[in-house]
Chains A and B, each alone.
Chain A
Amino acid sequence: MFHYLLGRLWQSLVLLVIVSMIGFAVLNLAPGGPLSQYALTPGMTQEALNRLAEQMGLNRPLPVQYADWLWHLVQGDWGRSYRDNQPVLDVIGRHLFATLLLMGTSTLISILVGTWIGIKGAVKRYSVFDYAATVGAMVALSIPTFWFGLVAIYVFSLWLKWLPAGNMYTIGDGSFGDYAIHLIMPSLVLAFVNVAVWGRYMRTATLDVINQDFVRTARAKGLPERTVMMKHVVGNALLPMITLAGVQLPSILGGALVTETVFTWPGMGRLFLDSLGYNDYPVVMGLLMFSAMLVLAGNLIADLLVAFVDPRIRLG
């Protein structure tokens, strides 16, 4: 177990280094560059630009800049925002809660609903329910999340006036109920797509298990159908879902970003778009790295969890 853990940690670390190289390369090789924001200032001279470049260390060769940035990153110094000179980690930290709240709530909903749909579809295979769920999942996977959000706002906020159209809380309120009512629409919209993903995988996983010998044995022993389903089938079918949760993390995070833009949710997605608009390179780079770290950590935890839960996986 220890060796496995060490190996997986090492793998993630290597990946993280490659990730940082890709991120750094993408940001710095793209035309424009960090100074393009200042270049637009009226009365800006080339001389002043050069001075800025020197102050910010942008006149050094790229590999040197990369090494310097990485060295500071390792020490917890992610640079400062070009916009308000705040440390990047603080800026991200201020937006982290909103994103995690949205992602967490919506993932919880989608796992519960998706698992239920998947099991039901597998048990009653080729029934009307199964067929409807399959087609519904395909359509759900095809609807653009941001557009679905717009439609939801139109129906539930503008037309029925049931729910607020955006933001995380009402200014001056911020009670639990206030947060909850703001959370309903974005988390359901984001869950909509993910329910489809979970449902389809859970259906396949359940079908894989349902025809295995140990299930037949359990039935032959005379166990009640309910026990067979809950203990033998669902228990085993849930295992691959843990891995799926890890694999799905980037797309859930991406989906949260998309949802945040429509619902003016003050999370990392909004921060990302605002920072792009300002050419705020350190924050954009920080967000790229941070999201990749979240994803890698998620994968790592999922793998360890599977190894921990599944006794069939024997680790040296």
Chain B
Amino acid sequence: MSAVASPIAVERIHWWQSRTLRRFMRHRLALIGLAMIVILTFACVCGPWLLPYDELYIDIRARFASPMTGAHIFGTDPLGRDIAARLFMAGRISLLVGFFAMLLSTAIGTVIGITAGYYGGRLGAALMRFVDAFLSFPSIFLLLVLAAFIKPSPFMITVIIAVTSWMEIARIVEAEIRSLRERDFVMAARMLGLRDTKIMFRELLPNAIGPIIVAATLTVARAILLEAYVSFLGYGIQPPLPSWGNMLNGAQQYLDRAPWLAIVPGVAITLAVTSFNFIGDGLRDALDARSDID
């Protein structure tokens, strides 16, 4: 739409000059979070190649080696597998599950929220009651029921997490769209005869993108936490495939003998989740036009 050449010479503002980016760069915690995520991702992608151990290699003579024995930086687990190698491979799984669960739940939440917000009326009310009903369960209960009854694979876990965490985004999008739909540009789009779907996704959605991005970032954090919990209980990612959550499975029974079994993956989860929360917070400050830090 906006590609039509404007007769007035406007100085083009590139994305790297935008106010949003400037504000984000000034948010120290968000930058720390971003840096930590980059480092974690890099470590999980490259780490396994650099370590001398395979994450599935069982060395029964080296069981329960404490951290820093030989080349086992983080020690070994009850089967003598290298924890560092498992941690990085697990990070791949956990981060990917978190990321794709975020994509899927954002998609579900956006479609439901935009439909409810744009059409409003009976349809909107019915959809929002549906959202409320989903929110009445503690999401952990629903998640566990689904995970216990459906054969868990990384793909299914991603879907299950998404199915139980799209409601926040639906609510945010609905409120945002409801406040936008009476604006002049929507009226203009309607008079041009645009289809509803086009108005919803091409005209309205870009105007509501800020809060969606913030909520999506926080959803990554939530999804990582949920995966960790479900896998900790043994209903999530199944061994031998490691995930941060299932590395903690069984850690409790060895807590006195081998506390590093619990500590190492937990710190990784906390680092990742904190980072995403920091980034989300920074994005909220940067994208919110009402907050005037400038």
Indicate if the CB atoms of B270 and A251 lie closer than 8 Å.
Answer: no
Q: Which residues of A contact B35 (CB under 8 A)?
A: none
CA distance A32 to B146 in the complex (A): 11
CA distance A253 to B135 in the complex (A): 12
Indicate if the CB atoms of A19 and B136 lie closer than 8 Å.
Answer: yes
Which chain B residues numbered 168 to 221 have a C-beta less than 8 Å away from chain A?
A: 221
Q: Taking the complex as formed, is A153 at the interface, i.e. its CB lies under 8 A from any CB of chain B? A: yes
In the complex formed, the residue of A with least CB distance to B252 is: A150
Indicate if the CB atoms of B133 and A18 lie closer than 8 Å.
Answer: yes
Q: Which of A42-50, A61-69, A87-95, A139-147 contacts B (4 or more CB under 8 A)?
A: A139-147
CA distance A261 to B234 in the complex (A): 12
Indicate if the CB atoms of A257 and B129 lie closer than 8 Å.
Answer: no
Indicate if the CB atoms of B225 and A144 lie closer than 8 Å.
Answer: yes
Known interface pairs A18-B130, A31-B149, A144-B266; A250-B135 also in contact (CB < 8 Å): yes
Q: When each residue 128-156 of chain B gets 1 if its CB lies under 8 Å from chain A and 0 otherwise, what string results?
A: 01101111111111101110111100000
Q: Taking the complex as formed, is B277 at the interface, i.e. its CB lies under 8 A from any CB of chain A? A: yes
Known interface pairs A26-B142, A292-B136; A154-B270 also in contact (CB < 8 Å): no
Q: Which of B129, B248, B262, B277 contacts A142 (CB 8 A)?
A: B277
Of B140, B228, B256, B262, most buried by chain A (CB within 10 Å of CB) is B140
Indicate if the CB atoms of B29 and A147 lie closer than 8 Å.
Answer: no
What does DSSP make chain B's interface, helix, strand, loop or mixed? helix
Q: When each residue 227-259 of chain A gets 1 if its CB lies under 8 Å from chain B and 0 otherwise, what string results?
A: 000000000000000000000001101100110
In the complex formed, the residue of A with least CB distance to B151 is: A31
Of B132, B136, B141, B255, most buried by chain A (CB within 10 Å of CB) is B136
Indicate if the CB atoms of B144 and A273 lie closer than 8 Å.
Answer: yes
Indicate if the CB atoms of A273 and B266 lie closer than 8 Å.
Answer: no
Q: Taking the complex as formed, is A53 at the interface, i.e. its CB lies under 8 A from any CB of chain B? A: no
Min C-beta distance of B238 to chain A, whole Å: 16
Q: Which of B142, B221, B255 contacts A150 (CB 8 A)?
A: B255
Indicate if the CB atoms of B138 and A141 lie closer than 8 Å.
Answer: no
Indicate if the CB atoms of B232 and A146 lie closer than 8 Å.
Answer: yes
Indicate if the CB atoms of B252 and A250 lie closer than 8 Å.
Answer: no
Indicate if the CB atoms of B266 and A272 lie closer than 8 Å.
Answer: no
Indicate if the CB atoms of A19 and B133 lie closer than 8 Å.
Answer: yes
CA distance A168 to B261 in the complex (A): 26
Indicate if the CB atoms of B144 and A258 lie closer than 8 Å.
Answer: no
Q: Taking the complex as formed, is B251 at the interface, i.e. its CB lies under 8 A from any CB of chain A? A: yes
In the complex formed, the residue of A with least CB distance to B263 is: A151
Q: Which of A23, A147, A257 contacts B269 (CB 8 A)?
A: A147
Q: Which residues of A contact B146 (CB under 8 A)?
A: 26, 30
Indicate if the CB atoms of A257 and B255 lie closer than 8 Å.
Answer: no
CA distance A146 to B266 in the complex (A): 9
Min C-beta distance of B162 to chain A, whole Å: 15
Indicate if the CB atoms of B133 and A144 lie closer than 8 Å.
Answer: no
Indicate if the CB atoms of B145 and A288 lie closer than 8 Å.
Answer: yes
Which chain A residues numbered 290 to 313 have a C-beta less than 8 Å away from chain B?
A: 291-292, 295-296
Q: Which residues of A contact B141 (CB under 8 A)?
A: 254, 257, 272, 287-288, 291
CA distance A147 to B270 in the complex (A): 9
Indicate if the CB atoms of B139 and A18 lie closer than 8 Å.
Answer: no
Which chain A residues numbered 135 to 174 have a C-beta less than 8 Å away from chain B?
A: 135, 138-139, 141-144, 146-147, 150-151, 153-154, 158
Q: Which residues of B contact A144 (CB under 8 A)?
A: 225, 228-229, 232, 266, 269-270, 273
CA distance A14 to B273 in the complex (A): 36
Q: Which residues of B contact A151 (CB under 8 A)?
A: 262-263, 266
Indicate if the CB atoms of A292 and B137 lie closer than 8 Å.
Answer: yes
Of B134, B137, B235, most buried by chain A (CB within 10 Å of CB) is B137
Q: Taking the complex as formed, is B281 at the interface, i.e. its CB lies under 8 A from any CB of chain A? A: yes
In the complex formed, the residue of B with least CB distance to A140 is: B274
Q: Taking the complex as formed, is B21 at the interface, i.e. its CB lies under 8 A from any CB of chain A? A: no
Q: Which residues of B contact A150 (CB under 8 A)?
A: 248, 251-252, 255, 262, 266
A-B contact pairs, 15 of them (CB 8 A): A14-B129, A27-B149, A31-B149, A31-B150, A142-B270, A147-B248, A154-B255, A154-B259, A250-B137, A251-B139, A254-B140, A258-B229, A288-B137, A288-B142, A292-B136
Assuming A26-B142, A31-B149, A31-B151, what are 12 further A-B pairs, CB within 8 angstroms? A18-B130, A26-B146, A27-B145, A141-B277, A143-B270, A150-B262, A150-B266, A258-B229, A261-B233, A292-B136, A295-B136, A295-B138
6 interchain residue pairs of minimum CB distance: A254-B138, A30-B149, A147-B266, A18-B133, A142-B274, A142-B273
